[in-house]
Amino acid sequence: MATEDILILFAEVSVALGGFSGVVGVLGPRSFAQWSRDHRVLFANLIVGAFAALFWSIVPLILLNAGVDPELTWILSSGLWVPFAVPANLVFWKLILVPGRSIPAGAIVQTAALVVVVVLQIWNVVSLRAAWPFLVAISLMLASGATAFVLFVVTDSGSASE
């Protein structure tokens, strides 16, 4: 499968995930005002994961279609992704840290995966200059959004403490 086709597939999956999440959120059994803090964080994480993946799928497509050299496209895409991903993860941690509560295991796994992917993006900028490391980064965003979606759907929106 061509890289451009994979990027388009990722964009389509992102739109589907974000759109379906919105529908589930609106048509769910409780209004937004009744959601627990945890449910709001999950919803924010899945929406940000879906639409960030959409954005980062489109960036290299624009560059490639503008005639930018493929190696430079992957250097720019990976190089620009890192300054987005690290602060986004810091905001995520700020949202999930609640005094008196344990840290969710999923947050630790997600952050560990992010660290590996950030190192991979830096390696891509410095040496690899290939599409696959950047595709891994988009996959991580989609996996994070999809995981948040599953947790959002299967957990009770009012069960967690505020």
Q: CA-CA distance, 130 to 41, in Å (whole number)?
A: 34
Is 0.85 surpassed by the pTM of this model?
Answer: yes
Is pLDDT above 80 for 159? Answer: no
Q: Do the Cβ atoms of 125 and 3 come closer than 8 Å?
A: no
Residue 114, H or E segment? helix 105-123
Each residue's pLDDT tens digit, 21-70: 888 877 776 777 888 888 888 888 888 889 999 999 999 999 999 999 99
Amino acid at 4: E
